[in-house]
Amino acid sequence: MQITPLYSDTRRPMKILVLASGRGTNFGKIYSKQIEFKKNGQKNYGTVEHVFSNDPNAAVIAKAKALRIGTSSLSSKKFFTEIGKDPSDESGRVLYDLAVISLVEQFLEPDLVVLAGYRRKLSAPFVKRFANKVINLYPGDTTKPYLVRGKSACVQALEKGEKRIRCTVYLENDPKTRFGIVIAQSADICLEGFSTGDEAAMEEKIRVEGEWKIFPFVVHDMIANGRVEIDRENNIYVDGLLTGKSGFSLSP
């Protein structure tokens, strides 16, 4: 069976395109890890080469510019207004994503596309264009069958009687599914002592103990080092070993 690395040219830093819509906190953590690797003289890591946003006024754009990273934007709100379609319309989504692809490829041919708080659902042409190169993060365990849209994963976990939660990094490879194939999950994050009314406090804890650790780790320590592979049946391998449905687990 053929097994293919998500990134294989470890003779050079992996080129990253970040897509984001908000403050850019996860982008900031990925960039900080990049600088840390570079200062420590490590060879294999990712470099954020370009940041795109569907909101020209998003804080992430200003943050990237301050770091002298190339940026671009295309207002999704204005785009869908001008074509007279609802932002959830699939044909409109395709048109928008084709425009995004045309725009960002003027600046970069990415080795990896990182969705760092990107609030646009991707279309099939985008996923196909960057096949097995798009990763996303969810502040919960995507293997849980009870997850629904519109409610925080931590609240749902408590409602199901769970005392711990994990963040998940997954491969965006099928726009028909909500979550893609799991690459890795964070260490367990304790929710004991919280109630469903403590949503903001729980989410902050999950960011600090989960998101900001697992996302940079997967990008730099795993993918940029050629450690993550996929086969034709979309099974994930780490260090040559087949992972289960929960992917690689990051130890505390």
Q: Contact 163/192 with Cβ under 8 angstroms?
A: yes
Q: Contact 151/165 with Cβ under 8 angstroms?
A: no
Alpha-carbon span 214 to 207, nearest angstrom: 10
pTM: 0.96
For 107, the 3-state DSSP assignment is: coil
Task: Report all structural domains of the chain as residue ranges with CATH numbers, in order of start.
Answer: 3-142+167-188+212-236 (3.40.50.170)
Q: What is the pLDDT of residues 150-182, one digit of tens each?
A: 999 999 999 999 999 999 999 999 888 999 999
Average pLDDT, the chain: 96
Average pLDDT over residues 60-65: 98
